[in-house]
A = this chain, B = another copy of it.
Amino acid sequence: MSSVYRAITDAEVAFAADCPSRPILDQIADKWSMMVLAVLEQPRRFNEIKRRLDGVTQRVLTQTLRRLERNGMIERRVLPTSPVGVEYSLTPLGESLREPFGRLYDWTVEHAGEIQERRLAYDKRSS
């Protein structure tokens, strides 16, 4: 098991307000960030990314890319073309995040059916 869970006594399992994970999770644990990192297995242009993320608006994608760039996950490079192009690519840091994200993604796919069932059962009970 991972460090949060292993070999800790009862009283220690808690999340203090200053736990270093909290501001980070706030910034990167959203669905668009996850999808952007997944799609950047190779450098891609802005609209290329946008096309692959069904439903994202231009505004939100821009914000997401900025936040990922600020946190060192991706790099933004302006191409000397006409009209201008912008290429985004993963940094080593961003690359290292793809594995835990991938695990989570795999989990959702694997358990999507069961979750759906549970949800239906719950809604039936409380109706």
Contacts and interface: CB of A to CB of B under 8 A. Distances in A.
Interface string A100-127: 1111111111011011011101110000
B13 A52 contact: yes
B106 A3 contact: yes
Nearest to A18: B54
Nearest to A69: B122
B105 A4 contact: yes
A27 B98 CA distance: 20
A71 to B, nearest CB: 5
Nearest to A71: B115
Contacts of A54: 14-17, 19
Contact of A15 (B4, B35, B96, B97): B35
Interface string A1-43: 1111100001001111101111011101111001100110110
